[in-house]
Amino acid sequence: MTAPPREGRPALFLDRDGTLNADTGYVDTPERVHLLPGAAAAVARARALGYLVVVVSNQSGVGRGMFGPEAVEQVNARVDALLAEADPAARLDAVYTCPHAPAGDDEAGCECRKPAPGLLLKAIREHRIDPARSWMVGDKASDVEAGRAAGTRTVLISADGGPGGADLGARSLADALDRIARREAAA
């Protein structure tokens, strides 16, 4: 007897700044984009493992009036170009950004700014992603919270590699892919 077919595809959801590229504050120009070591190889490996690779990124500088949405698009294009330059197999399947500033105490927040799961849920719908077979990888607690709220497993990237409330901890995106691959092989 064969197993029933799985619904949806697995995805690797990635935060951008601090996960794929260096977080230098507000990354508002292509010149400020510097891929983190091993990021391109990790993206290529994720794709080889069958994951869609989807970036989900808060970009509050837009909502704060520090730069426009076109700057976010230019930075995302630079990330894409640097990934492809480092490894032609390192391709992003989609990028979703939240342009809103954080809500104040007396304001209701949007549904797309992490830790809300809106960006992930939109990608799940649009790309027929199975959240239970997917991972959210990021460097902040809000990334982990968004992943959990969307039904994914989670990896927190930190200097000490500890999980900090996530399913797995890692020191880098490359380390995260190693740990995910080991977890999947053991399952």
Residues 21-39: tens digit of each pLDDT: 999 999 999 999 999 999 9
**Residue 40 above 60 pLDDT?**
yes
Find out whether 158 and 132 touch, Cβ atoms under 8 Å: no
Give the pLDDT confidence score for residue 186 in this predicted structure: 92
Q: Residue 107 domain-assigned?
A: yes
* Alpha-carbon gap, residue 115 to 103, rounded angstroms: 12
Q: Count of domains in the chain?
A: 1
Q: With cut-offs at 50, 70 and 90, classify the pLDDT of residue 107.
A: low
Phi/psi of residue 98, nearest 5 degrees: -105, 120
DSSP string of 60-87? Answer: HHHHTTSS-HHHHHHHHHHHHHHHHHH-
Q: Residue 84 domain-assigned?
A: yes
5-9, 67-71, 105-109 — which is least confidently predicted?
105-109
Q: Residue 1 domain-assigned?
A: no
Give the pLDDT confidence score for residue 3 in this predicted structure: 37
Find out whether 154 and 148 touch, Cβ atoms under 8 Å: yes
**Residue 80 above 50 pLDDT?**
yes
Mean pLDDT of 137-142: 97
17 as an active site residue: the answer is yes
Name 44's Cβ contacts closer than 8 Å, sequence gap at least 6.
Answer: 87, 89, 90
**Residue 105 above 90 pLDDT?**
no
Give the pLDDT confidence score for residue 55 in this predicted structure: 98
Q: Residue 163 domain-assigned?
A: yes
**DSSP code for 163:** -
Q: Residue 164 domain-assigned?
A: yes
- 52: domain CATH number is 3.40.50.1000
Domain that holds residue 82: 11-186
Q: Residue 114 domain-assigned?
A: yes
SS3 100: coil
Mean pLDDT of 123-142: 98
Q: Residue 97 domain-assigned?
A: yes
Q: Residue 5 domain-assigned?
A: no
7-21, 92-106, 166-180 — which is least confidently predicted?
92-106
* Alpha-carbon gap, residue 19 to 74, rounded angstroms: 18
**Residue 2 above 70 pLDDT?**
no
23 as an active site residue: the answer is no
